[in-house]
Structure 1
């Protein structure tokens, strides 16, 4: 485990074309779950100039009948949700406008072959929706137990979006990216060596006084977000380094669901299993198992049992129990990782009913329309708020300590 190094993470705004796609896909997940908590959704979204296309497999009462036909008004409701998502993000541009874009819906009923392997029946418990590996991670670099480089990258863009929507920064447009590079000593961030922000802007804000105004605004946002001790005269800023950035969003670059999985997770500080989250209902372990491993890893660090913790689980399609559970505290743990694995398994069994797909989604309360807010600014490092982000709770700390006693 290196203690002195330089590390970088990036984030993208809610107006980035891939994030527009993620938010639309998760809005569809929420729509189906709002009508049927047992709905099945695998929704992919393509966005490009004045076009949104949905494709994938779905099943759910109130949307599709038992013979696979759309219920009355269901397709109109889907189109309304898509347009409202684009409107909320803020796209009213010539090349991408929530009212004027063309919409195509190619969603169709879920494969019966997949359903028979995943659904519970008789004495068979609900199985995993696919094979795969999933990772969760936590560290003590920030109050939310997230990697600092990603934590600050997200918050820079979240603040800029809030200022755009409130009118405090009317020259901003929805598409933006950020990147934060920090120097670490003894495993702790000590200096920001480079900040990169590229933001779509109103016409003319790439030259003269208007360009200076935009760059001064971004530097002030960075100063408000990062701790003062990390910034200095040696911090290098790259703000709109290519110059003009008026054409953005899906008009500037096509967007697809699931192309920002490192932004969605830990900014590269932890492994990723490769499966995207957005557009998938919680029976898909790509999503639910990644959430529960974050939940467990965060509680390990919150309990003071490690400074860093990575957890991996794996599944086979149609099989309910995980094939493996692996824990690595990177040499920072207060107990052997093997003992911690046993403690985590025991606590998960007691508090969640185990690490089966059903145990995870019932234990964490995932069968609810809570997913669209996850689709921008990260799925992790967010405040648990009622039904939202339940995997960010730290209510297992005492149970984990007791299991290791």
Structure 2
């Protein structure tokens, strides 16, 4: 037997596993690395976050990704090279993190790598039935496995699409297994580049869990800041806080048809990008607005689209809480607006026992654990989501 196969078999028989979850989102700020201790499977899953770090990307590497990110026309050589390079860079960052934590790679059971999304193209977004639903995350799992010496699971979204889904969002699977509550309905809100939530009804409501994208999270604000200020983000909402919301522009943004589609739905920077925003800006003849007013309005657009979506989800439900994770949690202006909309319900994801910045990386560790020791039967009660175990397995030798 291949010794890596024998090791894989041994891992599946352990009482608990040490799994590293990796997440690099559409903000391209860096690689989230979460070392998780996981036992059990399905609803019996238990997760403990042992270590977490975000390793920032070098600006040259980030800019290379931008040349192909969410673009329909790209340089194929750059694309092919980045598929390998992202895998190598992620592996280097994992080894660096392990060295800082004083942990030998051979003590890690596996890596769960989300990869870097470069294009998301469900038919509901492209409106082109020539091709099936598709999504693409690069950063080859074999490169990670060989360079780290650790068995790697990657490319999770393809199984979801192959089984009839749209490839996103995948958060429902881990959220459903870990965070259900008998009497409290929970909205697990993640504000990354795109905002999304998982709706987990209390057990007495007799409803199904679902996950859905909502609209822009940080992506429009980040893209505008990068284009006009050369900055990756509006840190602490300093620019947006200096401006005033332009109601005409906000109203026009809120007319986006995607916002009114039924749940669940999925989107990405392929729709919500700077070109999209500039077209709306020109349409409203507001191109002379100050950057501060534009950022204040984009901030309000994110807040209002999230608020509208949550209000649709909860309707007449009284006992609900909203637990927030993702980069948007660090935007004080955005959080102030959401707190005004839900004064008694909005909480940090930390209240559920996990660092909110680590949540997405932890969820992919859970997905890999399900592939190793779980079963599709564990996730049959998620609305409009195929019951599958996800992730391709790459052996290091």
Is TM more than 0.5 here?
no
Q: Larger radius of gyration, structure 1 or 2?
A: 1
Which has the higher relative contact order, 1 or 2, with Cα contacts under 8 A spaced 6 or more apart?
1
Name the structure with the higher helix share.
Answer: 2
Q: Which bracket does the TM-score occupy, shorter chain normalised?
A: under 0.3
| TM-score with structure 1 setting the length | 0.24
